[in-house]
Amino acid sequence: MNPTKLLGRFPIHVFLLVIAFVWVVPTLGLLITSFRTPGEIVTSGWWTTIPRLYDVSQFTLQNYHSVLTREGLGLAFRNSLFISVPSTLISVIVASLAAYGFAWLKFRGRKALFLLVVALMVVPMHVTFIPVITAFRRIGLGGTYPGIWLAHTAYGLPLTTFLMHSFISGIPKELFDSAAIDGSSPLSTFWRIVMPISVPALASVFIFQFLWIWNDLLVALVFVGATPDVAPLTVAVANLVTNRGQNWELLTAAAFITMVLPVFVFFSLQRYFVRGILAGSVKG
Amino acid sequence: MAEVRLLDITKKFGNFTAVDDVSLEASDGEFVVLVGPSGCGKTTTLRMVAGLEDITQGQIYIGDRLVNDVPPKDRDIAMVFQNYALYPHMDVYNNMAFGLKLRKVPKKEIDQRVRNAADLLGIGDKLRSKPRELSGGQRQRVALGRAIVRDPKVFLFDEPLSNLDAKLRVRMRAELSELHERLKTTTVYVTHDQTEAMTLGHRVAVMKDGLVQQYDDPQTIYDHPANMFVAGFIGSPAMNFLDAQVVGEDGKFYVQGKGFKLLIPNEKATDAVKDYAGKEVVFGIRPEDIRAPEMMREPREEMQFPGRVRVREPLGDEQIVYADISGDDIVAKLDPHLPISHGQDITLEAVTERMHLFDKESEEAIV
């Protein structure tokens, strides 16, 4: 790279460095604190450990052990998985099918129906809580996994459908013509052509929806908050803050347990954001 | 293999008539080209044959079977699209095998057919490549291969060469011709390129505004265009059109306009032409049918007219001369060695044995 170009990018790099610094420092503080004993946390700052980071003896895993067992975060972690994964999968699959139908199948009232679905994005979910909860209780879905799966799927569908629609409707028409001539039924075209091509969109919608559900407290609290066997991490951490607000070593450890999966999901799927799999199918 | 017959086909989108009462037939093994400017209904016609578009009125037969209500997959056709329409996530092999797999063709046979087609098209070493790794020409070959492996009754081509660069287009055009010679599959081919139409088609249907203007073999279309549209569309540079009058004098007939009066040779002075004596007509002459008298062995004065050179485009094997004759423009393809310069006064001679006359109102050919 030539010097002028490098100089031109200099402000951008400084800006990025500042942002990274502002984000990393508190996170690092959180991470280090979560490995320290309660006594040390209250007597010295986390940064004092930095000059002798190599000294492993000053750190402990006890905090993680405590929150995972005694405070029930282990169970809550499992619950979070049981809630997030199915809810996300169901809503992404339903949204893809719906988007495909709205984009490529011919039926009466297609546009109106699609507009209706998209319009649902502006309905605040709060106004639906009481009627939905009442209905759920009556049919035995209150405080159950299927209940919250259904709730998350429903609240997520307008946006996920919209996102998938904008991608799927952009697939060249000729691919569908070609598939029809090749003998592919609409459903087989969906599974064999649309889904594989939509992997980048699916991945981004999946991440989006997964993180949303994983971080959600409100819906979880409303639908399963009263059932600890089913309640996810967010509810458990919120309870922890209420019950053990002074125990920083527990709160920081809990925070990290909550973060691990989203970070992992993001890094494992992020390449799909970048790669345009469509390149090469049609001359553009 | 089979013939394709379109009987009084009409297609309407709302109030817009895209295809208007079109009747065409392609006999078994024939290569038929639909050509016309964009929006003339040629692609819509093709898509109706494919079954991708409903037919508002009329019947389409493939072989002896009425296919109006037969879905595309059961029509035993294969189609090649302008933008190739390859499945981006499948490699070349699977792109070609997809249709066969859906038809539950045995694996061994699929393999054999795909490899044969790939060898025929010279992409045998690309079977494991994804479409994005291929060049435009290779992608178009894969699209062709996908059509060939199906061994359909009819090939449908929708402007398959228009995304290729000029050089490759000429080569693929020749290859398509050769391929058709070898496979002898009935083919309907859509293009807006008149050169493609002329070189590929056994018969060419020139379309405009949803109507077939003329359906004939290429030479007939060139020699005897049915109307001014066809005359102007086929041939490059386009035919010259000049307002004129048919004049009868001493038993001879002339076509006379601003700045020219040319003898109509006997074989062109048909009864139909004679009926137009004293009436307004449009005189048509192709640029290649205009010569410079000094290059001719027997110049004929009665067919000459004066002009002034406006622009000259030397092309090496010929020169295109734009001349002004009494305010009208005329284009002539002349011998490249003829010394001509801008602004020069020039005498040109029309080969009136190959002239055309059109009715001014209906634009239909008189002769």
* Backbone phi and psi for residue B348, each to the nearest 5 degrees, phi listed first: -120, 155
Q: Does A280 contact B134 at a Cβ distance shorter than 8 Å? A: yes
Which residues partner with B191 through β-bridges?
B35
Task: Choose among B77, B89, B132: nearest Cβ to A181.
Answer: B77
Q: Does B84 contact A188 at a Cβ distance shorter than 8 Å? A: no
CB contacts of A178 in chain B (<8 Å) are 79, 81, 85, 87, 146
What is the mean pLDDT of the segment spanning B277-295?
93
Euclidean distance between CA atoms B18 and B38, whole angstroms = 11
Whether A228 shows a pLDDT value over 50: the answer reads: yes
Q: Does B73 contact A183 at a Cβ distance shorter than 8 Å? A: yes
Q: Is B189 helix (H, G, I), strand (E, B) or coil?
A: strand
Least confident of A56-70, B17-31, B51-65: A56-70
Euclidean distance between CA atoms A160 and B306, whole angstroms = 73
ipTM of the complex: 0.86
Instruction: Report pLDDT digits (tens) over B126-170.
Output: 999 999 999 988 999 999 999 999 999 999 999 999 888 888 899
Confidence at residue A243, expressed as pLDDT on a 0 to 100 scale: 86
Cβ-contact A63, A279 below 8 angstroms = no
| Number of C-beta neighbours around residue A60 at 10 A | 16
Residue of B nearest to A184 (CA): B102
Q: What pTM was computed for the model?
A: 0.83
Percent residues over pLDDT 90 in chain A: 48
Cβ-contact A93, A134 below 8 angstroms = no
Q: Pick from B231, B228, B282, B290: which is nearest to B256 by CA?
A: B282
The average confidence (pLDDT) of chain A is: 88
Instruction: Report pLDDT digits (tens) over B320-339.
Output: 999 999 999 999 999 999 99
Confidence at residue A279, expressed as pLDDT on a 0 to 100 scale: 39
Structure tokens at A273: 């954001």
* B75 CA to centre of own chain: 26
Q: How far is A140 from chain B (nearest CA, A)?
A: 44
Q: Does B89 contact A283 at a Cβ distance shorter than 8 Å? A: no
Q: Does B79 contact A178 at a Cβ distance shorter than 8 Å? A: yes
Q: How far is B190 from chain A (nearest CA, A)?
A: 15
Helix (H) or strand (E) holding B32: strand B31-35
Confidence at residue A244, expressed as pLDDT on a 0 to 100 scale: 85
Confidence at residue A44, expressed as pLDDT on a 0 to 100 scale: 86
Helix (H) or strand (E) holding A3: helix A3-34
